[in-house]
Structure 1
Amino acid sequence: MKMEDSIWSLLEEVIDPELGVNIVDLGLVYDVLVDANRQVRITMTLTIPECPLADEIVDQVKNAASQVPGVEGVDVNLVWEPKWTPAKMNDAAREEFRARQTMTP
């Protein structure tokens, strides 16, 4: 398995604490690049720029990517363009989000 694929897989374990859905299915991760020195650059966004849990999410992303054998360093590039919208969620995220909404009293 390619290093990028392993990183994407581990990023699926990072859950947005407010929505309860992983950041990959939400469409928050735009790109994962690994250079020749095994430095990882993850370009991503958050659901809102003023997210109070931004530091926590970024730390979880760095920790997840660092678990892949051979990774020498991880840089998370938070971007605000293109802006995140619910349209970026995949079908799995939509189903999970809907299920959570129906459970809420």
Structure 2
Amino acid sequence: MYYGQGESVLLQRDVEAVRVPDGALVKLRKDEVVIIYQALGGSYTVLTEDGLMARISANDADALGKEPPAIPNLKEGTDPETVKHNVWQLLKTVYDPEIPVNIVDLGLVYHVRVTPMETGANQVEIVMTLTAPGCGMGPIIQQDVERLVKSLPGVGQVKVEVVFDPPWSRDMMSEAAKLQLGML
């Protein structure tokens, strides 16, 4: 895990990244030097030599010479309670590219419901919010949640709803998050 001053690396291949904070797609080129500013949950927030901040997904960790980390505390099984446990564990690996706290501890996840489907798989519904309605990274965070949850055994469908009522506030953060961000 890095935050702040990080590791300088040479990109090993061209890689598509997401510009922070507006969420626009950018291409970083092989042999470009980047500094890993934040490496949390498998994704990497990097700074280029010209000051661009971008997020590289866990799927492209190899461009940085890295491997995505394994997700801890997952349980075996596909019953709804096991799937719900595993969904919460995965959500703890999703980070805002600018804040070194996962979306669960930030208080962005309001609800997770797992419902068995006739196919034998489960439907997972997640209700979440963002720290600000105009957050350019919101769609990226939502896509991360959908992609990760869809990868779980026993999950057939995923619905992620982003809502702004109730609006997010710092009071929704866990004590650990507040402590980590120096808010206590």
Q: Aligned to 2:129, which of 41, 45, 48?
A: 45
1:46 & 1:16 partners in 2: Cα distance? 9
Q: Which residue of 1 aligns with 2:153?
A: 69
1:5 & 1:19 partners in 2: Cα distance? 24
Q: How many residues are matched?
A: 99
Q: Aligned to 2:105, which of 14, 25, 30?
A: 25
Q: Secondary structure at the match of 1:75?
A: strand
Percent identity over the alignment is 41
Q: Which runs of 4+ in 1 moved over 4 A?
A: none
Higher relative contact order (CA 8 A, sep 6+): 1
Q: TM-score, normalised by structure 2?
A: 0.52
Superposed CA RMSD in Å reads 1.3
Deviation of 1:52 (Å): 0.6
Matched, 1:96 2:180: yes
2:106 & 2:95 partners in 1: Cα distance? 9
> Residue by residue, what CA displacement relative to the aligned partner does 1:11-66 show, whole Å, maximum 9, x if unpaired?
00000112221000000000111112111110000000000101110011112212
1:49 & 1:89 partners in 2: Cα distance? 17
Q: Which runs of 5+ in 2 are unaligned?
A: 1-74, 76-81
Q: Which moved more, 1:87-96 or 1:23-32?
A: 87-96
Q: TM-score, normalised by structure 1?
A: 0.88
Larger Rg, first or second structure (1 or 2): 2
Structure that is richer in strand per residue: 2
Q: Secondary structure at the match of 1:23?
A: coil
